[in-house]
Amino acid sequence: MDIGIGLLTLITGIALATERHPDPAAEADRQLGLTLAGVSPRP
């Protein structure tokens, strides 16, 4: 695994885990969408 991608994944995971939102169901849907979409290096 490339160090840059691993670091980006770690930072993204920490950011998502520490967010606080008033609507947990909507936040779960958003996080699932981000997880399934992933981070693409291509535009």
CA distance 28 to 8: 20
7-26, pLDDT tens digit by residue?
Answer: 888 887 888 777 777 888 88
Over residues 36-43, mean pLDDT: 62
| pTM of the predicted model as reported, rounded to 2 decimal places | 0.45
Q: Are 5 and 38 in contact (CB under 8 A)?
A: no
- The answer for residues whose C-beta is within 8 angstroms of residue 5's C-beta and 6 or more apart is 39
The H or E element that residue 8 is part of is helix 3-18
DSSP string, 23-34: -HHHHHHHHHHH
Choose between 19 and 41: higher pLDDT: 19
